């Protein structure tokens, strides 16, 4: 495998990206000699040797303990708690004996809910009186820390702040064909609030299409048909499926990375486009739980949605527009705020012997919407154990074979921002 040969002698860059709850794609894991001997020949080292070494030396207890530590608090991007996480990752890499650890700052526009005014959805009667109001935060269900005051109000990242009132229309997964179907049914979404299920396409595109068709707001929920397929007894804390009171947080940015520096690293001196030209939606959006979506769906009027559009809540899903009771309406009040803040990539380097200026990159992001047990901290905990095994392997190899210690190499990963463009790790130097 040419690919693995190339990687073998290059430098390994470990990176943890802060900020934007971005997605990281691990592309491949590569090599290192298993049982290092003096005068080991590089040609004799197989991929299987490396896999065996890594698998034998990975200690699940270390991953478990790291994950426990990483999830004891919340780490919203750009906050002091996120910076603590960066320092922790950096100090672990220093202890493990990486050759360099850097903190690379970026100035980014991040979105936060108001600390004092929650994002709410209300059902109003014909006199404008509030009949029902959605939950401001998710309910604590199991661990005491779920009631932590650090948990932000439920929000969708980069939703425009606005307070809109109107009729509601159900658009299923909010794909183009779903909007077309609603239009073909004679329902115009212009001036309406769109209620969509999350789960088929990225939420940014749902909001983008709603806005393009004249919608004034978007409410997103996750239907139990998709997110609690084994029924209401098989949800958190009894299983990993979504409980009725959980809301699907997420971003509705239309491009990866910082919205004010599209396609470029968000360094301090970068050219920034004005915020109103940024690839961000202009209408408000909010996520709600399926127990709250039931409150809306169970009151909706208009024709029944097609059979396929019915979810597993115990109601007939109607398209709308509007609620059955005449004169009743829906109010969507979003109080998010975009703020410039600093976030850091933490970059750890193991220098290669033969091609030290070519890089193999492994990494993921470390900010979390809340505690981040699964996304991203399960990945961060695994990465910290992998870097420990790589440094241990290098230590052993150097001790046993000073003459010809082959160089460590590992993995290519793409954080969605920053690392590929940073001074330390230019994309044209990565080997895989
Ligand atoms: C938003 O509008 C609703 C309905 O008019 C009103 O009850 C609510 O107080 C408004 N919210 C804020 C923060 O002004
Ligand atoms: C339907 O679901 C709602 C919300 O979970 C619940 O309050 C209600 O009791 C259910 N009704 C029936 C008939 O099961
Ligand atoms: C947005 O948030 C920042 C930081 O919390 C705060 O300083 C600013 O006043 C807020 N702006 C608005 C319009 O709420
Ligand atoms: C590798 O060796 C260095 C230097 O002795 C040490 O600080 C580091 O903890 C070792 N790393 C591992 C994973 O054993």
Q: Which pair of structure tokens corresponds to residue 216?
A: 């004034």
Q: Across 22-161, where does the E strand assignment appear?
A: 25-29, 100-112, 120-124, 130-133, 156-157
- Give me ligand 4 centre to Cα 180, in Å: 60
Mean pLDDT of 369-394: 93
pLDDT, residue 26, reads: 28
**Quick one: 106 and 118 in the same domain?**
no
pLDDT, residue 219, reads: 98
Top pLDDT among 223 and 354 is at 223
pLDDT, residue 431, reads: 54
Top pLDDT among 51 and 60 is at 60
pLDDT, residue 409, reads: 33
CA 113/CA 164 separation, integer angstroms: 17
pLDDT, residue 327, reads: 97
Closest C-alpha among 147, 183, 92, 143 to residue 382: 92
Report whether residue 331 contacts ligand 1, using a CB cutoff of 6 Å: yes
Nearest-10 crossing angle of helices 203-212, 176-184:
40
- Give me ligand 2 centre to Cα 315, in Å: 9
**Quick one: 326 and 346 in the same domain?**
no
**Quick one: 313 and 371 in the same domain?**
no
Choose which residue among 339, 341, 342 to substitute to test ligand 3 binding: the one with the highest number of ligand atoms within 8 A of its C-beta. Answer: 339
- Give me ligand 1 centre to Cα 124, in Å: 11
H helices present in 284-428, as ranges:
290-297, 377-400
* Coil, strand or helix at 65: helix
**Domains: count for the chain:** 2
DSSP string, 227-256: H-TT-TTSSTTSSSSPPTT----EE--SSS
CA 239 vs. chain centroid, Å, equals 21
- Give me ligand 3 centre to Cα 112, in Å: 9
Report the predicted TM-score, pTM, of the whole model to 2 decimal places: 0.85
Q: Which of 283, 309, 335 is the last residue in one of the domains?
A: 335
pLDDT, residue 15, reads: 64
User: In this structure, are residues 20 and 416 in contact, taking their beta carbons and an 8 Å threshold?
Assistant: yes
pLDDT, residue 273, reads: 97
CATH number assigned to the domain comprising residue 68: 3.40.630.10
Indicate whether 234 pLDDT > 80.
Answer: yes
Ligand 2, atom 14: closest residue by C-alpha: 314
DSSP string, 173-189: T--HHHHHHHHHTT---
Top pLDDT among 345 and 21 is at 345
Ligand 4, atom 13: closest residue by C-alpha: 392
Give the position, in ligand 4's atom list, of the atom nearest the Cα of 391.
13
pLDDT, residue 35, reads: 43
Report whether residue 391 contacts ligand 4, using a CB cutoff of 6 Å: yes
Choose which residue among 124, 329, 331, 334 to substitute to test ligand 1 binding: the one with the highest number of ligand atoms within 8 A of its C-beta. Answer: 331
Q: Which of 313, 335, 357 is the last residue in one of the domains?
A: 335
Q: Which pair of structure tokens corresponds to residue 85?
A: 């996480």
Backbone torsions φ then ψ of 235, nearest 5 degrees: -135, 165
CA distances from 390 to 158, 345, 411 (A): 38, 21, 11
Give the position, in ligand 2's atom list, of the atom nearest the Cα of 315.
1
Indicate whether 427 pLDDT > 60.
Answer: no
Q: Across 275-427, where does the E strand assignment appear?
A: 285-287, 329-334, 337-350, 355-365, 411-414
Give the position, in ligand 4's atom list, of the atom nearest the Cα of 395.
1
**Quick one: 324 and 346 in the same domain?**
no
CA 7/CA 228 separation, integer angstroms: 42
- Give me ligand 1 centre to Cα 298, in Å: 23
Question: What pLDDT band is residue 410 in, cutting at 50, 70 and 90?
Answer: very low
The DSSP bridge partners found for residue 11 are 359
Ligand 3, atom 13: closest residue by C-alpha: 337
CA 296/CA 218 separation, integer angstroms: 13
- Give me ligand 1 centre to Cα 333, in Å: 7
**Quick one: 315 and 350 in the same domain?**
no
**Quick one: 124 and 105 in the same domain?**
no
**Quick one: 9 and 57 in the same domain?**
yes
**Quick one: 270 and 133 in the same domain?**
yes
CA 354/CA 6 separation, integer angstroms: 10
Closest C-alpha among 235, 218, 217 to residue 312: 235
Domain that includes residue 17, residue range: 2-111+342-429
CATH number assigned to the domain comprising residue 241: 3.50.30.30
**Quick one: 163 and 174 in the same domain?**
yes
Mean pLDDT of 53-71: 96
**Quick one: 355 and 302 in the same domain?**
no
Q: How does pLDDT run across 147-188, given as a tens digit for each residue?
A: 999 999 999 999 999 999 999 999 999 999 999 999 999 999
**Quick one: 125 and 206 in the same domain?**
yes
pLDDT, residue 120, reads: 98
Q: How does pLDDT run across 86-107, given as a tens digit for each residue?
A: 999 999 999 999 999 999 999 9
Mean pLDDT of 245-270: 94
Q: Which of 310, 335, 360 is the last residue in one of the domains?
A: 335
- Give me ligand 3 centre to Cα 251, in Å: 19
**Quick one: 154 and 254 in the same domain?**
yes
Question: For the chain, what is the mean pLDDT?
Answer: 85
Mean pLDDT of 219-231: 97
């Amino acid at each position: 495998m040419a690919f693995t040969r190339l990687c073998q002698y290059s430098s390994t860059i470990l990176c943890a990206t802060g900020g934007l709850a971005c997605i990281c794609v691990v592309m491949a894991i590569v090599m290192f000699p298993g049982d290092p001997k003096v005068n080991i020949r590089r040609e004799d080292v197989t991929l299987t040797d490396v896999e065996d070494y890594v698998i034998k030396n990975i200690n699940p207890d270390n991953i478990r303990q790291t994950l426990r530590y990483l999830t004891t608090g919340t780490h919203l991007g750009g906050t002091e708690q996120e910076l603590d996480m960066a320092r922790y990752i950096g100090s672990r890499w220093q202890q493990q004996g990486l050759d360099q650890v850097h903190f690379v700052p970026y100035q980014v526009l991040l979105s936060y809910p108001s600390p004092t005014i929650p994002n709410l959805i209300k059902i109003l009667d014909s006199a404008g009186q509030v009949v029902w109001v959605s939950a401001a935060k998710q309910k604590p269900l199991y661990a005491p820390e779920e009631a932590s005051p650090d948990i932000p109000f439920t929000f969708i990242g980069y939703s425009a702040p606005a307070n809109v009132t109107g009729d509601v229309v159900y658009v299923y997964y909010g794909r183009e064909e779903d909007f077309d179907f609603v239009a073909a049914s004679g329902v115009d979404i212009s001036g309406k609030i769109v209620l969509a299920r999350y789960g088929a396409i990225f939420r940014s595109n749902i909001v983008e299409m709603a806005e393009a068709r004249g919608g004034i707001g978007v409410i997103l929920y996750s239907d139990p048909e998709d997110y609690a397929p084994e029924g209401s007894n098989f949800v958190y804390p009894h299983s990993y499926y979504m409980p009725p009171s959980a809301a699907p947080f997420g971003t509705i940015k239309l491009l990866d990375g910082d919205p004010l520096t599209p396609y470029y690293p968000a360094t301090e001196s970068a050219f920034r486009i004005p915020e109103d030209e940024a690839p961000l939606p202009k209408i408000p959006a909010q996520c709600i739980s399926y127990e709250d979506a039931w409150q809306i769906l169970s009151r909706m009027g208009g024709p029944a949605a097609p059979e396929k559009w019915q979810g597993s809540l115990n109601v007939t899903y109607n398209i709308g527009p509007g609620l059955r009771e005449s004169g009743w309406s829906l109010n969507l009040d979003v109080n998010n705020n975009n703020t410039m803040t600093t976030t850091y990539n933490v970059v750890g380097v193991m220098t290669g012997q033969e091609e030290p200026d070519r890089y193999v990159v492994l990494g993921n992001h470390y900010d979390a919407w809340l505690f981040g047990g699964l996304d991203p901290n399960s990945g961060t905990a695994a990465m910290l154990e992998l870097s420990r095994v790589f440094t241990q392997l290098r230590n052993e190899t150097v001790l046993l074979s000073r003459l010809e210690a082959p160089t460590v190499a590992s993995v290519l990963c793409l954080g969605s921002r920053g690392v590929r463009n940073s001074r330390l790790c230019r994309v044209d130097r990565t080997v895989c």
